[in-house]
Amino acid sequence: MKLKNLRELTLDRGLAHNVVALYGVQFAGYLLPLVTIPYLARVLGAATWGLVAFSQAFGAYASLVIEFGFGYSATREVAKCRGSRDALSGLVAGVLGAKVLLAAGAVALAIAAEQWIPLFHRHAVFFWAAMFGALAQAFSILWYYQGFERMRLVAVLDVSGRALGTAGIFILVRNPSDGWKVLALQGAGALVSVIVSTVLVFREVPLRLPSASLIWKTLRMGWSMFVFRSSLGLYSAGSTFILGLFAPAEAVGFYAGAEKIARAFMGLLAPVQQSLYPRFSHLVHQDPPTARRLARLSLLVMSAFGALSSLAVFLAAPWIVRIILGKGFTASVPVLRIMAALIFLDAFSTMLGMLWMVPLGLDRAFSRIVLAIGVLNIALALILAPRLAGAGVAAAVVAAEVFGACLISITLHRRGLNPLAAPAKE
């Protein structure tokens, strides 16, 4: 690999600034909650923490519906029309209008779910606190700044809001009966960031009320990414939700503890991935050889990092669980060892799928793959959860992810688009 290729990834100041900013967002989204895990695991106990995780899983579904994949589709549109204030104004109006419409539908479904699912009916305060957090997070306007590759300001806002929520958890959550406050405080922190960042957006683009046709156009734009995101939810939040339907809250707590640790490690690469997405969206059209070189280098670096991280988590699982969750969560160790494989699989699949296939315009092919992964995961989880509890659900997630990585590789190979198969001429 020539030195100039490395510079394409490491010496671009704009890309580097966005990576740093997005690591700030990632710190707020993953590491701040991770800081609270040792405290909450000991204060709430496995059963109450399982109830929190079960409520969060439903909230995550609601958030996916409202967000509708705009974090990807709208980011791509912003990157395409950066120079047109009129187009940007229409895009912002369309996205926010669509989210309001989707939020109304999500709340209606939530009212029904509270009555249908006994655990939610018995613990309504947990359920609606989770819904509040889901609504706040779904209205994030991060996609606007990400499309401009201008992340520093919104990163500061996001970190500040979530840090306030985290501080509130340490101050106000004192016993298991305070478990609902965890959900409410996380939502409040996200809401502060959303309000301030949205106000700043409307200082740059004219405020415009969306028409019905504009909302419909925006929904059509985001449809393929919504299929992708909702399918992704089938084997992320969906796994916790399915486990909660078959297993006691304590078992959900053991699984949730291991999952949060595994996904925290998975999230270490997310800022790099998010910064590369608009860059690939631009380069695949403007400079395909450079795009391929960057894809090849990114895949090698991220896969290597993911493989080493998976191995480290697998070997150190007993110590990680004891330090982060405490002695009462020994049952989380085998679950974490199974889920350690996800760190590598996620790095590999995200690079070839979200960062390569989607900018190339293969949205539908990628969405079909993710949907197949989600369906397989749900099927396996429904079979394994009643028999093996958290370990069975973890095995279902890993098996589905392996299946997805194979499908992505086969699809790119057949289309002659594998960045490793045919290096571009230097």
pLDDT at 347: 93
pLDDT at 8: 45
| Mean pLDDT on 18-46 | 72
**CA–CA gap between residue 248 and residue 276 (Å, rounded):** 41
Higher pLDDT, 383 or 147: 383
Report the length, in residues, of the chain: 426
Assess whether pLDDT exceeds 50 at residue 52.
yes
Q: What is the pLDDT of residues 114-136, one digit of tens each?
A: 988 888 989 999 999 999 999 99
Q: Provide φ and ψ at 203, rounded to 5°.
A: -85, -15
Q: Are 132 and 63 in contact (CB under 8 A)?
A: no
Q: Are 129 and 180 in contact (CB under 8 A)?
A: yes
pTM of the model: 0.74
pLDDT at 11: 42
Assess whether pLDDT exceeds 60 at residue 64.
yes
| Mean pLDDT on 407-411 | 94
**CA–CA gap between residue 54 and residue 47 (Å, rounded):** 10
pLDDT at 234: 64
Assess whether pLDDT exceeds 70 at residue 62.
yes
Task: Identify the band that residue 100 occupies on the pLDDT scale cut at 50, 70 and 90.
Answer: very high
The DSSP result for 296-327, as a single string, is: HHHHHHHHHHHHHHHHHHHHHHHHHHHHHT-G
Assess whether pLDDT exceeds 80 at residue 25.
no
Q: What is the pLDDT of residues 232-263, one digit of tens each?
A: 666 667 788 899 888 888 999 999 999 989 98
pLDDT at 66: 92
pLDDT at 132: 96
